[in-house]
Amino acid sequence: MTEEKKITKEMSILEIVQTYPETIEVFARNGLGCIGCAAARFENLEAGAKVHGIDADKLVEELNAILI
C-alpha cells in the first residue's frame, strides 16, 4: 500500500497553513513564524525550511503526520 502525501515541500507555506490550519503548531514548534511572514505567500516549504536550517523532508513528514 502506498501512502499519498497531502503536503509536499513544493507547496507554498501559505497554501499549507490555509488548507491545513492544524499545521500552524508544527511550524511554531520548529521555530518557523510563517504565519506573519510576507515570504509565506510565495516561498515554498523547502525554501522556508532551508532558510531556517531545517530538514525539509523531516518537516514534511511531521506536517503530514498530524493530518492522519
pLDDT in tens, the chain (68 residues): 345 669 999 999 889 989 999 999 999 999 887 666 767 777 899 998 998 899 999 999 999 999 97
pLDDT score for 1: 39
pLDDT score for 2: 47
SS (H, E, C) the chain: CCCCCCCCCCCEHHHHHHHCHHHHHHHHHCCCCHHHCHHHHCCEHHHHHHHCCCCHHHHHHHHHHCCC
pLDDT score for 9: 96
Torsion angle, alpha carbons of 42, 43, 45, 46, to 10:
140
